[in-house]
C-alpha cells in the first residue's frame, strides 16, 4: 500500500509544479522547513535556529505552524512576540515550544498555511516567514524549500509501509537539505556528491538540564534519572542523556505528541521513584504538554541548541531570495 500513497504524493507535487493546481502567494518572502519523515528530523529546532540567526541580523521574522494535534484548525495567533497566548492542547506542542524559544517573534498556526500567513501579515506586517513542517503544504508558494532528512529517512519507505510522508525522490524539489551529523552515513554521502553545495549537517550542542516548570536556571546533570518522552525518535533522547554522563534508571516512551493526562504523569512519577532515580527527565517539546508534575522527584528537561554547519552560506542564499522579491516588487 505504501507505493500507492507515495505515487499519490508524487503526482500531487508534480501537479503543483506544472501549474495544474495554483499556489497562493503572500506579500512576505516564505521559507519552508519541512521533512520527509513523520518525526525525528529536527525540523522544528531548525526553524528556531534560523529564526534566531535572521533576527540577530535585523529583519523582522515570523513563524507559521500547523498546530498538529491541537484542537484549533483555523488560523490562530500563538504568540504576539511578547508572550505565548495559547496552550499545547489548543494549538499543538511545536507551536508553543517555538513561542517560548523565540521571544520577539510572532507565531501563527493554521492548517491552511496561506490563511495563517495572511493573518500574520494583517496583525504584524510584512516579514520573513518561516514555515514549520511546510514541505508537503504545496498550496502555499515558497521562495525557498529546506528539507530535513536523516540517513534513516533516505533508506526508508512511504507510509504505511515505512515512516515517510514522501519518497526520497521528492528531495529534487528542495533547494537545500539538512541532515543529522550524528547519523550521517553512505546515503548522505551520495546525496552530497549529487548535490554539492545544497547539503548541510545539523548537530545538537550546548546541552543543559533545567526545571521543567521554568522555576529556575540550569542545574547540574543528575546522576541517575528516569527518562520519558513522546517524540518521533526517542532513542536520540536517550543517547543525548547518556552522553551527558547520567545513568538511565528507567525509561518510558509514548507516541509522538502524546497528550499527557494526569494519570500518565502520576504513573511516571511513581515509576521514577520505584526505579531509584533522583529526577525524572523529559524533552523541551514534551514539557509544554505537562501542566503539573505530581512529584515528589523533580522533573527536569534536557535542553540543547542546534548548530547548523555552513550557516553563513545558508543566510546568503536566504538574502538572495529576499533580494529577488524586492527586485520583482512582489
- Under the phi-then-psi rule, with left for phi > 0, alpha for psi from -120 to 50, and beta for the rest, what region is 119? alpha
What distance in Å separates the CA atoms of residue 156 and residue 163, rounded to the nearest whole number?
A: 7
pLDDT at 5: 58
What distance in Å separates the CA atoms of residue 185 and residue 8, rounded to the nearest whole number?
A: 29
Q: Percent of the chain having pLDDT more than 90?
A: 76
Asked if domains 2-202+307-328 and 205-305 share a fold, the reply is: yes
* Per-domain boundaries in the chain: 2-202+307-328, 205-305
- SS3 breakdown of the chain: % helix, strand, coil, rounded to 5? 35, 25, 40
CB 166 within 8 A of CB 13: yes
**The cell 505504501 sits on which residue?**
2
Dig out the grid coordinates for 310 from the structure: 555552513
What distance in Å separates the CA atoms of residue 132 and residue 146, rounded to the nearest whole number?
A: 10
User: Tens digits of per-residue pLDDT, 52-78?
Assistant: 999 998 889 999 998 776 677 789 999
pLDDT at 60: 93
Cα separations (Å) of 150 from 35, 75, 188? Answer: 9, 31, 8
Nearest to 116 by CA among 85, 72, 60: 72
Q: Give the helix/strand (H/E) hosting 224.
A: strand 224-229
User: Tens digits of per-residue pLDDT, 261-290?
Assistant: 999 999 999 999 999 999 999 999 999 999
pLDDT at 232: 86
What distance in Å separates the CA atoms of residue 12 and residue 247, rounded to the nearest whole number?
A: 47
CB 270 within 8 A of CB 78: no
Which residue numbers in the chain have pLDDT < 50?
A: none
The set of residues, in sequence order, having a beta carbon less than 8 Å from that of 12 and lying 6+ positions away, is: 21, 138
pLDDT at 4: 61
pLDDT at 40: 78
Q: What is the CATH number of domain 2-202+307-328?
A: 3.40.50
Burial 186-217 (b: 16+ CB within 10 A, else e): ebbeebbeeeeeebbbbbbeeebbbbbeeeee
pLDDT at 110: 93
What distance in Å separates the CA atoms of residue 163 and residue 282, rounded to the nearest whole number?
A: 23
Dig out the grid coordinates for 219 from the structure: 542545574
Q: What is the CATH number of domain 205-305?
A: 3.40.50
Q: Give the helix/strand (H/E) hosting 220.
A: none
Burial level of 82, CB count in 10 A (0-12/13-18/19+)?
A: exposed
pLDDT at 273: 96
Q: Percent of the chain having pLDDT more than 70?
A: 96
Amino acid at each position: 500500500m505504501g507505493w500507492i500513497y507515495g505515487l499519490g504524493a508524487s503526482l500531487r507535487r508534480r501537479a503543483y509544479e506544472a501549474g495544474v493546481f495554483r499556489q497562493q502567494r503572500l506579500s512576505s518572502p516564505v521559507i519552508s522547513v519541512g521533512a520527509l519523515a513523520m518525526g525525528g528530523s529536527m525540523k522544528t529546532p531548525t526553524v528556531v535556529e534560523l529564526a534566531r540567526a535572521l533576527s540577530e541580523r535585523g529583519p523582522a521574522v515570523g513563524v507559521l505552524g500547523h498546530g498538529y494535534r491541537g484542537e484549533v484548525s483555523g488560523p490562530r495567533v500563538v504568540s504576539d512576540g511578547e508572550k505565548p497566548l495559547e496552550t499545547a492542547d489548543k494549538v499543538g506542542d511545536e507551536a508553543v515550544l517555538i513561542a517560548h524559544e523565540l521571544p520577539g517573534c510572532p507565531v501563527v498556526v493554521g492548517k491552511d498555511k496561506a490563511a495563517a500567513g495572511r493573518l500574520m501579515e494583517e496583525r504584524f506586517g510584512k516579514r520573513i516567514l518561516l514555515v514549520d513542517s511546510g514541505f508537503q503544504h504545496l498550496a502555499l508558494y515558497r521562495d525557498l524549500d529546506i528539507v530535513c532528512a536523516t540517513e534513516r529517512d533516505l533508506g526508508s519507505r512511504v507510509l504505511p509501509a515505512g515512516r515517510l510522508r514522501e519518497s526520497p525522490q521528492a528531495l529534487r524539489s528542495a533547494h537545500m537539505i539538512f541532515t543529522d551529523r550524528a547519523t550521517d552515513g553512505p546515503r548522505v554521502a551520495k546525496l552530497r556528491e549529487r548535490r554539492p553545495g545544497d547539503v548541510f549537517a545539523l548537530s545538537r550542542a550546548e546541552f543543559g538540564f533545567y526545571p521543567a516548570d521554568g522555576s529556575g536556571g540550569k542545574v547540574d546533570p543528575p546522576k541517575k534519572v528516569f527518562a520519558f518522552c513522546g517524540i518521533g525518535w526517542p532513542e536520540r533522547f536517550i543517547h543525548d542523556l547518556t552522553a551527558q554522563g547520567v545513568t538511565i534508571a528507567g525509561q518510558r516512551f509514548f507516541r509522538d505528541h502524546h497528550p499527557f493526562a494526569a494519570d500518565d504523569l502520576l504513573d511516571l512519577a511513581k515509576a521514577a521513584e520505584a526505579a531509584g532515580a533522583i529526577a525524572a527527565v523529559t524533552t523541551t517539546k514534551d514539557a509544554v504538554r505537562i501542566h503539573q508534575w505530581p512529584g515528589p522527584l523533580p522533573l527536569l528537561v534536557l535542553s540543547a541548541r542546534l548548530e547548523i554547519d555552513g550557516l553563513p552560506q545558508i543566510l546568503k542564499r536566504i538574502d538572495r531570495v529576499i533580494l529577488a522579491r524586492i527586485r520583482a516588487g512582489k
